[in-house]
Chain A
Amino acid sequence: MHKGILLGAFAGMALAAGAASAGTLDDVKARGTLKCGVNAGLAGFAAPDASGRWEGFDVAYCRALAAAVLGDAEKVEFTPTTTETRFTALVSGEIDVLARNSTWTFTRDVDLKLDFIGVNYYDGQGFMVSKDLGVTSAKELDGATVCIQTGTTTELNLADFFKTNGMTYQPVPIQTEAEARQQFLGGACDAYTTDASGLAAARSGYPNPENYIILPEIISKEPLGPVVRHGDNQWADIGRWTFNALVSAEELGVTKANLDEMKGSQNPEIRRLLGVEGSLGKMFGLNDDWAYNAIKAGGNYGEIFAATIGEGTPSNLARGLNGQWTDGGLLYSPPFR
């Protein structure tokens, strides 16, 4: 009577399973929700709050994308991923987009068959040490014990840095930010290395932040960005231009508050961006108010930054490289034309 109950489970899944073979956009529209892979817990970038609602910088991008595609910023299913599972989850179709502070590198782009659709945060790997150590430069860390997150590019950068400087170190691999805090504050490692943004965010959460310094050396370039599967250009375009829309909106002074007002703007680029003029959205299969919706979800890039990781938040990060190009930063959106 119980024969093949497992096959039954398979059959049940066959009913529930959707085919991911068509375009991702069609899948997302048919499903009615966007599946977004995020960090399982990184303060400021992605973490669930007490009511289970996901919040953070990467999360905000997912909501903007959902708003652009589906017209509703709440139609996102967040999938927590680890450093190990993130790319597989994307490639296997479990998620539609991965926004999990992942570094854009050659091998990931080419060999792992991913498409990075932009850089939403320019970062670099740095070191943090306790002031008591009396270290002022990363070059003085010979023989130190270093806490490092496994499964990331930081691991390889660290090995390269110590090698080129002819120094040795003892790695303490850790899995999560919370663990790093415990190890570092407990003195189990002399230095903690990760992206400089992560260091600053972590430090601001410590009981005595003034006792720790971030060393001046930035030993790598870490352009972090959202990722989609290789080979679906339409979907990659949507992801890329949704992000560009958020950046352009800041450049053009379009904010969440003045969005409707801006619809009446005389600036032709704003009019094109908000879908008042031309029909950019139609070109990749969305409604013309796609960018309007995306900006409405959480505001423009600057507003998202300020609300999640910017100065005054627990992460307390300065814009730095992530300012608009007009302010000396690296954010430079191609024109909406």
Chain B
Amino acid sequence: MDDVAWTRTEMLGPEAPPASAVGIVGWMRANLFSTWLNVILTVAALGAIWLLASHIVPFFAHSVWNASSYSECREIVARTWGEGASGACLAVIRERWKQFFFGFYPADYYWRPTLAFILMFVALAPVLFSSLPRKMLWFSAIFPGVAYWLLWGGSIFFPIAIYLGFVAGYVAFRVAERGPSFLPPLAAAVVTIVWWLFIAGPLANLLPDIGLPAVQSKQFGGFMLSMTIGVTGIAFSLPLGVLLALGRRSDMLFVKWISVGFIEFIRGVPLITLLLVASFLLNIFMPPGTNFDIILRVIIMVTLFAAAYMAEVIRGGLAALPRGQYEGADSLGLNYWQATRLVIMPQALKISIPGIVNTFIGLFKDTTLVAIIGLLDPVGLITSIRANSAWNGIVWELYGFVGFMFFICCFGMSRYSQYLERRLRTDRH
């Protein structure tokens, strides 16, 4: 073959592409103006961008940060940019940002919610990133108590007494685990509740009152309130959702019906009706004379609400597990609760995390509804700031700020859950 002189021994290099197909021009041709339809779409899109930008850009370009009232803001804008110019009065954010983040929390203790917020990420880290050491999960477990103590203050021994209830319940669970399958959860529940009802209170009262100054939940507000409601709702709804999901998949007809009934009822009504129940009716359902504050009532209803959605997410996770896992656990001789705790749930929960994050995003956005029943979450604060005579008439700056903050949080979380979904997809072989 080598003696055939006219055969090339190597490929010719490619010709340089025509000028119209490379560089910016080529890119634009390929991506913006490839067909007549695309030309029209591009022009329409440019028009839409121009329309929006022509309103929004000057508004923010002319923003005022230093003013003590809305009328002063408008004066400054008119003086600097001419009569009739529109400008954002961001001075209101500058004056009220603390209220937006902390509500009416005492200013001296701002470090407490801030610390709780930071610790939340430490607690979440081992759940979200599986490469971290598993021992960190212990901190995740005690975080709710720490956060409660930081936010509400009071004696440190109160959350500790509550936690000891879990310990007692766990001991009862392990002791009863050799018995029939329904005994462990029953024993754990009974021991824990008995502990909380009859031992925890006196124990906490007995011990010295060492701790942080107490803060009333009335003083919660702004994003801190949204976060508290959202995070507590999700944290408490997780175990409840696990139970409901297991109940819904149960062979026992009646247990299944209770679970299905609860889930479908909660998912069938709007959250606002549940909040109205919290506001109007929950006290009527409790024994006469019971009275606990509205934020606690809202958290209860939000927890029930989230539990129904959580149950569906976890049910999806359970359904996605291969049958072999159940059969494998059975063949090892594990009973129902052992199999669930050691084999099924760890896997089901892991693949449910993106769904759980999505549920949290939805719940976090839905916490704005508490403004309708008069709580001062960010949206409720907008109302009360607009009522202040200094800021009468201000609209867009406040909505824009609150919307922007929500966007940052929710967008970040949804990106994270998409990343998780992608990773989980490649994880499984």
**Which residues does A use to contact B, with CB under 8 Å?**
1-9, 11-21, 40-44, 47-52, 77-82, 84-85, 88-89, 92-94, 175-178, 181-182, 185, 205, 207, 314-315
Q: Are A9 and B236 in contact (CB under 8 A)?
A: yes
Residue of A at shortest CB range from B392? Answer: A205
Select B201's contact among A15, A21, A175, beta carbons within 8 Å: A15
Assembly CA distance A48 to B380 (angstroms): 12
B347 within 8 A of A: no
Q: Are B303 and A176 in contact (CB under 8 A)?
A: no
Assembly CA distance A1 to B383 (angstroms): 43
B290 within 8 A of A: yes
- List B contacts of A17 (CB < 8 A): 290-292
Assembly CA distance A91 to B220 (angstroms): 23
Ordered nearest first, which 9 A-B pairs have the shortest CB separation? A41-B387, A2-B239, A178-B386, A11-B196, A41-B384, A21-B289, A314-B389, A52-B104, A92-B283
22 A-B residue pairs with Cβ-Cβ distance under 8 Å, sorted by A, are: A1-B169, A2-B239, A3-B188, A5-B239, A8-B165, A8-B196, A19-B289, A40-B383, A44-B389, A47-B388, A48-B376, A48-B384, A52-B103, A79-B374, A81-B374, A85-B374, A89-B294, A92-B284, A94-B291, A175-B383, A178-B387, A181-B392
Select B193's contact among A7, A93, A205, beta carbons within 8 Å: A7
Residue of A at shortest CB range from B299? Answer: A9
* Additional 9 contacts, C-beta under 8 A, given A85-B374, A93-B291: A1-B173, A7-B189, A9-B300, A17-B292, A19-B289, A41-B385, A52-B99, A89-B279, A176-B387
- List A contacts of B296 (CB < 8 A): 9, 13
Q: Are A185 and B170 in contact (CB under 8 A)?
A: no
- List A contacts of B239 (CB < 8 A): 2-3, 5
Select A13's contact among B218, B242, B292, beta carbons within 8 Å: B292
Q: Are A4 and B236 in contact (CB under 8 A)?
A: no
Assembly CA distance A12 to B236 (angstroms): 14
B280 within 8 A of A: yes
Assembly CA distance A177 to B382 (angstroms): 12
- List B contacts of A9 (CB < 8 A): 236, 296, 299-300, 303
Quick one: given A3-B185, A40-B374, A80-B376, are A19 and B162 in contact (CB under 8 Å)? no
Q: Are A43 and B389 in contact (CB under 8 A)?
A: yes
Assembly CA distance A6 to B238 (angstroms): 11
Q: Are A185 and B393 in contact (CB under 8 A)?
A: yes
Select B192's contact among A8, A13, A84, A89, beta carbons within 8 Å: A8
Quick one: given A4-B193, A6-B236, are A41 and B280 in contact (CB under 8 Å)? no
Residue of B at shortest CB range from A315? Answer: B389
Residue of B at shortest CB range from A45? Answer: B387
Quick one: given A92-B283, A94-B293, are A5 and B173 in contact (CB under 8 Å)? no
- List B contacts of A1 (CB < 8 A): 166, 169-170, 173, 188
Q: Are A40 and B289 in contact (CB under 8 A)?
A: no
Q: How far, in Å, is A197 (CB) from chain B's closest CB?
A: 14
Q: Are A94 and B376 in contact (CB under 8 A)?
A: no
Assembly CA distance A8 to B392 (angstroms): 44
Q: Are A80 and B238 in contact (CB under 8 A)?
A: no
- List A contacts of B303 (CB < 8 A): 6, 9
Chain B 160-199 interface 0/1 with A at a Cβ cutoff of 8 Å (1 = within): 0010011001100100000000000100110011001100
